[in-house]
Amino acid sequence: MISAPNEPSRRILVIDDNPSIHEDFRKILAENSVELRAFTGTKALLFDEAPASTVLPLFEISSALQGAEGLEMVNVAHAAGQPFALAFVDVRMPPGWDGIETVMRIWQRHPELQVVICTAYSDYSWGDMIRRLGPSPNMVVLKKPFDNIEVLQLAHALTTKWILNQQVQDQIRELDARVAQRTAQLNASYQRLEQEVDERRQIAQALALSEERFVKAFNANPIPLAIQALTTGTFSNANPRFEQLSGYSRDELLGHQAEQLGLWPGDSQNESLRHSLADGATLRHAAGQLAARGGTLHDVLLSTERIELADGPHLLIAFQDITEQLLLEKQLRQAQKMEAVGQLAAGIAHDFNNMLTVIQGNASMLHADCAVHSADLPLLDGILSAATRSAKLVRQLLTFSQKQSLEIRPVRPIDIVGPLTTMLPPMIGEQIQLITKVDAALPRVPVDLGMMEQMLMNFAVNARDAMPKGGSFTIAASACSLGEDACRNHSQARPGHYLQFSVSDTGAGIPTDVLPRIFEPFFTTKPVGEGTGLGLATVYAIVRQHQGWLEVASELGHGTTFHVYLRSAAPLKHPNSSNLHPPKPNVRAAPPIFSWWKMKKLSVSASPTCSNRTVTP
């Protein structure tokens, strides 16, 4: 579909050596499909809008089978005044340029083009892409196989972004023209000042109007802004967004230095920023931390500009809060790391299993032929015992690498925890009290019963080792529904109905420097020979195979709590369901992804709920 003359460009170029991929994109983006209608309804629901009575504009789709052909089409379209807004580019396109080289060549001439790089198993890591292409806000990576709604969202969002960029450039050119025009008027006014006092008064009025506009723009700006006097370092002004970021009101900020309010934490990085601000240096996206009232730290990027006001030189400081962005990047890096380790573990387990089969078979035959009182019999027993332990290790590796098949069936939570009340006490010892809090009325959830039992037993073994002098070990299950507000601060969570397993102990807790590594295979803090380092790694793999995610909260000396969230196909009834966050209807969940951890204080005696995804009393 070609956009109407009065509509902005929604032209999309698909560069892929597979013709069927072009047809798929055409069906998704250029036909009034079910996905498009679903996307329209979802958009209205997310932004609390009335459902649109008209269908969203479709796209004009063009296709290229190779990178060089795609570059030529981009050049021709730009020369004809009908540029492409967005390009979907496949990474692998033999022979000729691959996707990265194609994007690099296109951006050399048309850096404004929005690009979605489509990849399944790319030869390039994210770091390689950044090194070759450079950091760019115009690039998104889309993993295959992709979801139709996800493609629609990307197409609408990125073409709209491209359109807005074009509009901004037009406005900048218009603004430059207006500035030039205004400068000419001021020059003419200046020449008339010597002759006409009235014109002096008009200029003064114009300056007052300009100041009023500046104040309005300053206060309405969504970016946190503050103005500091260069000579004293005190705040002269702050907009509402900076008040929200810092936690201080404008009246509390005015006349005070940032150091007096404790806005700059004491570290070398912030010390350098303080010196730069005191010297009036111009900064562009300088990294630092801002301590809000109450001690909350925000990672920020600072940009400054020296300005002259009536009472002397000042600094206009812009703060960009990147705290959430850094957290998401950390989660992504950890997920990629665990994926790579899982693939490595699968390969090791496969080869090790083949060698172990030979060892077990030969040792068993020698053991069968060996005389009862032979001196070799204890040696063979040792070989077979070691082989048995090694076989268990292989099974754990296969579980971690998700090579074990699951037998999913509806199971009641009470049927998962019930048998463990007799199995766990001998395992954890008499000095540890086992407490279970599972409502028999909780309905069934689709899980592999054996895997769930193994998960809880691994938790129990870890808790036992954390409480050598005794304590309590609690297993609780409850229903919860997560709404969008509850999921906003967790990139992996999606609205929906869940069963939450909460496993708590009163042990020593986990140090903060160890916490990020607890799910890594073979990582253990136990002495040599007392742990394989696969217990929590196996738990992570089991939860991942069940399309759930894990969260852990721990404090030294106060124990540890693990929360396991498992998706339920239907709402789970809960006694306190009125306090839960119901999800909005018709919101499709993304493919399964998994949260890692969230540092927070633990209340051991608390009963877990899910209203805010924390442990509450």
Based on the domain organization, do 431 and 465 belong to the same domain? yes
Q: What is the pLDDT of residue 600?
A: 30
Based on the domain organization, do 336 and 427 belong to the same domain? no
User: Residue 615 in contact with residue 554, Cβ under 8 Å?
Assistant: no
Question: Is 511 a domain residue?
Answer: yes
User: Residue 102 in contact with residue 89, Cβ under 8 Å?
Assistant: yes
DSSP 318-350: EEEE-HHHHHHHHHHHHHHHHHHHHHHHHHHHH
Q: What is the pLDDT of residue 345?
A: 65
Q: What is the pLDDT of residue 346?
A: 65
Domain boundary among 338, 371, 400: 400
Based on the domain organization, do 339 and 486 belong to the same domain? no
What SS3 class is residue 352? helix
Q: Give the bridge partners for 475, in sequence order.
A: 436, 503
Q: What is the pLDDT of residue 24?
A: 87
Which residue in the block uniquely carries the two structure tokens 């609408």? 156
Beta carbons within 8 Å of 247's beta carbon, 6+ residues apart:
292, 293, 294, 296
Based on the domain organization, do 312 and 333 belong to the same domain? no
Return the amino acid letter for 116: V
Q: For residues 312 and 230, what is the distance between their CA atoms, to the nearest angstrom?
A: 8
Mean pLDDT, 10 residues at a time, over the chain (617 residues)?
Answer: 49 91 86 55 58 64 92 93 92 87 91 89 72 86 84 89 90 91 84 76 78 81 86 86 88 85 74 75 83 85 84 85 79 66 66 75 80 75 76 64 70 89 87 91 86 86 88 92 72 79 90 82 67 75 83 89 82 42 32 32 30 29
145: preceding bond cis by omega (within 30 degrees): yes
Question: Is 359 a domain residue?
Answer: yes
Q: For residues 248 and 163, what is the distance between their CA atoms, to the nearest angstrom?
A: 38
Question: Is 416 a domain residue?
Answer: yes
Beta carbons within 8 Å of 442's beta carbon, 6+ residues apart:
412, 413, 414, 477, 478, 479, 499, 572, 573
Q: For residues 435 and 504, what is the distance between their CA atoms, to the nearest angstrom?
A: 10
Q: What is the pLDDT of residue 128?
A: 79
Based on the domain organization, do 60 and 84 belong to the same domain? yes
Beta carbons within 8 Å of 107's beta carbon, 6+ residues apart:
113, 115, 133, 136, 138
Based on the domain organization, do 229 and 244 belong to the same domain? yes
Q: For residues 137 and 376, what is the distance between their CA atoms, to the nearest angstrom?
A: 69
What SS3 class is residue 411? strand
What SS3 class is residue 538? helix
Q: How many domains does the chain divide into?
A: 4
- Give the rounded distance of the alpha carbon of 191 from its chain centre: 59
Q: For residues 547 and 331, what is the distance between their CA atoms, to the nearest angstrom?
A: 17
Q: Which among 15, 9, 156 has a CA at the least distance from the CA of 73?
A: 15
What SS3 class is residue 363? helix
| CATH, residue 565 | 3.30.565.10
Q: Give the bridge partners for 115, in sequence order.
A: 87, 139
Question: Is 513 a domain residue?
Answer: yes
Based on the domain organization, do 383 and 475 belong to the same domain? no
Quote the pTM value: 0.41
Based on the domain organization, do 347 and 307 belong to the same domain? no
Structure tokens at 320: 């960009």
- Give the rounded distance of the alpha carbon of 314 from its chain centre: 38
| CATH, residue 256 | 3.30.450.20
Q: Is 44 exposed, middle or buried (CB count within 10 Å of its CB: 0-12, 13-18, 19+)? A: middle
Question: Is 43 a domain residue?
Answer: yes
Full residue range of the structural domain in which residue 35 is found: 11-166
Based on the domain organization, do 23 and 114 belong to the same domain? yes
Question: Is 584 a domain residue?
Answer: no
Based on the domain organization, do 21 and 73 belong to the same domain? yes
Question: Is 539 a domain residue?
Answer: yes
Question: Is 265 a domain residue?
Answer: yes
User: Residue 544 in contact with residue 594, Cβ under 8 Å?
Assistant: yes
SS3 labels along 429-461: CCCEEEEEEECCCCCCEEECHHHHHHHHHHHHH
Beta carbons within 8 Å of 586's beta carbon, 6+ residues apart:
38, 41, 42, 45
Q: For residues 36 and 106, what is the distance between their CA atoms, to the nearest angstrom?
A: 29
Based on the domain organization, do 566 and 451 belong to the same domain? yes
Q: How far is CA 446 from CA 409, 453, 586, in A?
A: 5, 14, 21
| CATH, residue 362 | 1.10.287.130
Based on the domain organization, do 560 and 520 belong to the same domain? yes
